[in-house]
Amino acid sequence: MLTSLGMGGAERMALALADRIAQRGHTVVLVVLRPRIAEQWPTELPVTYLEVRKNPVSVLAGMARGRRFLREFRPDLVHSHSFHANIAARLTNGLAPPQVISTVHNVWEGGWVRMLAYRLTDGLARRTAFVSQAAAERFARLKAVPQGKCVVLTNGIDTAEFAPDEDRRFRMRADVGVGAEFVWLTAGRIAPAKDYPNLLRAYARVRAARSDVRLWIAGEGGAGDFAKARGLAAELGLAEVVRWLGLRRDLPSLLDAADGFVLASAWEGMPMALGEAMAMEKPLVATDVGGVRELVGAAGALVPAKDPEALADAMLEQMRRAPEDRRTLGHAARARIESSFSMDSKADEWEALYRSILEDNQ
């Protein structure tokens, strides 16, 4: 169960897991709270839309549709993702089977009202899973979830899809007209969590030291957030050197074309785009928030959040490295993903958790 199939990291992760579980012979159906949207991740799995909109009547009608669906489909497990779907799965299911597993994809899922909602509905879920240890510790500290019911299952990366390709790199750079410049790429929704002001201020410092550097931003956001980001870029004199790529479905190609990946977030769970950049052997600079340190280890440079000077210094340091040193770091990053964060190994862990819950319930 998901809030939407919008093109975010949590949705991408949930769909990748659902696909893997279906490939293993299990029957999987997606239940989506909100109506179908224009830009969403494609899937071949069956999808039931509950058509929930932002008004009480629609919410109640959607809950009723969800209950009818569960009675007819009779699943063994309901696995929900992120706040709205987590709470909906608990309330729609009630105290009767199937078993509910909630997944929290971020350190921050809202203020005290949402934490209270998690606490009050905790008895309706068998487990709450977190994509990072940092997120699990925060929710336990806030008493949103009892520590004994927390489990950490980190995100997985498809290492076959995200594999470097030199020919693709040359083609992509030629297509967009990039020569010898160093290209930094970032990917993620233009929203407060990603802290694009921090990134743009850091990039302005980098540009003051090096003129041969470009910044590509892949992602979309609300009109207000996007206008503020574009306005700040213009204010900093970056309007001509920042490439706003919008919503993209070709992230492997963009990562191939880029020379490094930068993440400037104010808070995170465990960012999918960062793990995908690691699989693509990119030099990394990221803020040390949420589960970023758990993901990156020693395979990239970590800096404090909301510190554009430190972020700029780390970006320049990566650019000053010899190309062979950057390649060595990139190889180490991919090796870390392959050994600890591959999608297939994570599907193994999830399938084992599903089975243990069902066996405990027999």
Contact at 8 Å (CB) between 312 and 202? yes
Residue 161 lies in a domain: no
pLDDT score recorded for residue 95:
56
Residue 102 lies in a domain: yes
- Quote the number of domains for the chain: 2
Residue 1 lies in a domain: no
Residue 246 lies in a domain: yes
Q: Are residues 135 and 178 in the same domain?
A: no
Q: Are residues 152 and 217 in the same domain?
A: no
Residue 362 has pLDDT above 90, yes or no: no
Q: What is the pLDDT of residues 340-355, one digit of tens each?
A: 999 999 999 999 999 9
pLDDT score recorded for residue 311:
98
Q: Are residues 181 and 330 in the same domain?
A: yes
pLDDT score recorded for residue 342:
94
Q: Which two tokens stand for residue 11?
A: 């949705």
pLDDT score recorded for residue 75:
94
Q: Are residues 234 and 303 in the same domain?
A: yes
Q: Are residues 74 and 130 in the same domain?
A: yes
Q: Are residues 331 and 354 in the same domain?
A: no
For residue 77, the enclosing domain spans 9-156+343-360
Q: Are residues 250 and 105 in the same domain?
A: no
**Mean pLDDT of the 124-133 span:** 95
Q: Are residues 129 and 30 in the same domain?
A: yes
Q: Are residues 237 and 260 in the same domain?
A: yes
Q: Are residues 292 and 196 in the same domain?
A: yes
Q: Are residues 90 and 222 in the same domain?
A: no
Report the C-alpha gap between 338 and 330 in whole angstroms: 12
Q: Are residues 251 and 203 in the same domain?
A: yes
Q: How confident is the model at residue 149 (pLDDT cuts 50, 70, 90)?
A: very high
Residue 3 lies in a domain: no
Average pLDDT of the chain to the nearest whole number: 94
* CATH code of the domain containing 300: 3.40.50.2000
Q: Which two tokens stand for residue 114?
A: 């949402």
pLDDT score recorded for residue 168:
95
Residue 2 lies in a domain: no
Residue 103 has pLDDT above 80, yes or no: yes
Residue 127 lies in a domain: yes
Residue 172 lies in a domain: yes
Q: How confident is the model at residue 39 (pLDDT cuts 50, 70, 90)?
A: confident
Residue 208 has pLDDT above 60, yes or no: yes
